Amino acid sequence: MRSFLSPVLALLWKDVVLELRTKDIVVSVLLFSLLVIVIFNFAIDPTPQRVAVVAPGILWVAFIFGGVLGLTRSFALEKEHGNLQGLLLTPVGRDAIFFGKMLGIFVFMSVVEAITYPIFAVMFNLSLTVVPELIPVALLATLGIATVGTVFSAMAVNTRSREVMLPLLFLPVVIPVIVGAVEATGVVIRGEGGSDLVRWIPLLAAFDAVFLVVCPFAFNMVVEE
Amino acid sequence: MSTFTESPAAPSEVRPRAPAIEIKGLTKSFGRTPVLRNLDLQIRWNEVLTVLGPNGSGKTTLIKILATLTKPDSGDIHIAGLDVARSGQGVRRLIGVVTHDPLMYDDLTAYENLRFTARMFGLDRHGERIEAVAERMGVAARLHQRVGTLSHGLKKRFSIAKALLPDPYILLMDEPESGLDQEALAILEDIVSNGFGRAHTVLMTTHNLERGLALGHRTAILVGGRIAYEGTLEVDGASTVRDAYFEYVGRYTGANPT
């Protein structure tokens, strides 16, 4: 277990240190997510009735499209100067490389979501008291997005038009997670909670479980020339 | 130059009598373009093989296949008795690889890059090891400088230090001399000739005929994905190897052999 965890944590450490120095991913994803929220705030008249219906969708549109930017950048960094080859030359399983990269994306997206939601709540006049209920929804959805996104960003980075290819490949596959996240967030924001939330959270967890099993194998095939 | 023996440096976890590198019938194409054609090659422990050849002859592809970065279309490849296709992780534990690219992150310091590599290889006491390889490559004073601020030559020195860091048994070096100054070239030649740590077996590609002759126990000339010539300086003599180089490489590139 230690031999698996050690390279995973080393990769996470490397990505966090690089991000603290360059601020490439978190800043660009955060700014993009905030811009989406501001645009929607102007585009619709945010009455309480309308907000209750559209706010979850707006929030996850901001997160998912911001996440695509972060995913593109995460593997572009590995492509520069052949660093992905450097990773593949180490005697660790490709699955350890997958989980190391996936955890980095998960952490960066979680940071962006933690900063974005309070601003979103203020702009759309939503309560901050729902945050504890939103946390498991956000964590499960972000885990699914990061897991699928890691495979497709590794695939897209080798294509000529990776900025276009990544969303085209990634978004259709991650739709079940987005639907689950939007529905569960809606339940929390409208204060319905209870059985409705209990229905969506296991569904998100099930998608994550499937992706966590399938994606490391897919990643292995993607990075082999 | 060290003399080669049966397998004194062979790691205990692999077949002790197996050659360091054994390639049989290696074929690789990219699309419809054949790059390596039915290539056979063997390297003994403690042997230095220099591979010469013009651009596009398949030298880099050969190194990438041995380094488990690229899959061959067909052929059997064993490193220290381990099947490269099936035991990639085991093979990567035994080899140090120098490629054209430095394989380092610009926004980390050289020390941080090497520490990251050490952690990926699960090395103990990596601080001492990092100091040792940086000292050997003459870059200890630059360890705490960000890689992005280093010159191409210094990056290349660190990339060789990185290949040496896990104390590999076999060095696979793809034109390692490019970008190196005279001091670094002398260090590289000393490492290839006398070894460093456990690394006394080397497969090195180069465009420099004289360096290839000086460093290699054996020289192979790769042309169009095939070994056009394979011989030793001791048996064939320098003029025969030079003639072969000019015949195959000169003819292939259209250069004047005289």
Q: DSSP per residue over B30-65, as a string? A: ETTEEEEEEEEEEE-TT-EEEEE--TTSSHHHHHHH
B82 near A CB under 8 A: no
**Could A91 and B99 be called an inter-chain contact, meaning their C-beta atoms sit closer than 8 Å?**
no
**Could A225 and B71 be called an inter-chain contact, meaning their C-beta atoms sit closer than 8 Å?**
yes
Asked whether residue B251 carries a pLDDT value surpassing 80, the answer given is no
Mean pLDDT of chain B: 88
Give the separation between CA A176 and CA B200, rounded to whole angstroms. 54
| Chain B residues within an 8 Å CB radius of A10 | 116, 119-120
Task: Pick B213 or B256 by higher pLDDT.
Answer: B213
Asked whether residue A196 carries a pLDDT value surpassing 90, the answer given is no
Position A165 scores a pLDDT of: 87
**pLDDT band of B234, cuts 50, 70, 90:** confident
| Domain locations along chain B | 21-102+168-253
Position A224 scores a pLDDT of: 79
**pLDDT band of A79, cuts 50, 70, 90:** confident
**pLDDT band of A2, cuts 50, 70, 90:** low
**pLDDT band of B52, cuts 50, 70, 90:** very high
**pLDDT band of A1, cuts 50, 70, 90:** low
CATH architecture under which domain B21-102+168-253 falls = 3-Layer(aba) Sandwich (3.40)
CA dihedral A129, A130, A134, A136 (to 10 degrees): 70
Average pLDDT over residues A91-105: 95
Contacts of A135 (CB under 8 A, 6+ apart): none
Give the separation between CA A133 and CA B171, rounded to whole angstroms. 55
| Chain A residues within an 8 Å CB radius of B64 | 225
Position B224 scores a pLDDT of: 87
Mean pLDDT of chain A: 91
A160 near B CB under 8 A: no
For the stretch A198-204, contacts whose Cβ atoms lie closer than 8 Å and that sit 24 or more positions apart, written own/partner, are: A200/A137, A201/A136, A201/A137, A201/A140, A204/A137, A204/A140, A204/A141, A204/A144, A204/A177, A204/A180
DSSP letter (8 states) at residue A120: H
Asked whether residue B180 carries a pLDDT value surpassing 80, the answer given is yes
Position B15 scores a pLDDT of: 62
CA distance B117 to chain A (A): 8
Tokens of B231: 């011989």
Give the separation between CA A78 and CA A86, rounded to whole angstroms. 9
Average pLDDT over residues B217-223: 92
B68 near A CB under 8 A: yes
**Could B69 and A21 be called an inter-chain contact, meaning their C-beta atoms sit closer than 8 Å?**
no
Give the separation between CA B36 and CA B222, rounded to whole angstroms. 9
DSSP letter (8 states) at residue A129: T
Count of A-B CB contacts under 8 Å: 75
Give the separation between CA A3 and CA B77, rounded to whole angstroms. 27
Give the separation between CA A141 and CA A110, rounded to whole angstroms. 10
Task: Pick B244 or B149 by higher pLDDT.
Answer: B149
Asked whether residue B6 carries a pLDDT value surpassing 60, the answer given is no
Handedness of CA B201, B207, B213, B215 (dihedral sign): negative
Residue with tokens 């054949």: B34
Give the separation between CA B100 and CA A160, rounded to whole angstroms. 21
**Could B103 and A13 be called an inter-chain contact, meaning their C-beta atoms sit closer than 8 Å?**
no
Average pLDDT over residues B109-133: 94
Asked whether residue B43 carries a pLDDT value surpassing 90, the answer given is yes
Position A162 scores a pLDDT of: 78
pLDDT (tens digit per residue) in A99-139: 999 999 999 999 999 999 999 999 998 888 889 889 999 99
Asked whether residue A147 carries a pLDDT value surpassing 90, the answer given is yes
**Could B117 and A86 be called an inter-chain contact, meaning their C-beta atoms sit closer than 8 Å?**
yes
| 8 A C-beta contact, residue B180 and residue B173 | no
Task: Pick B62 or B245 by higher pLDDT.
Answer: B62
**pLDDT band of B256, cuts 50, 70, 90:** very low
Percent of chain B residues topping a pLDDT of 70: 91
> B199, B239, B205: which is closest to B219 by C-alpha?
B205
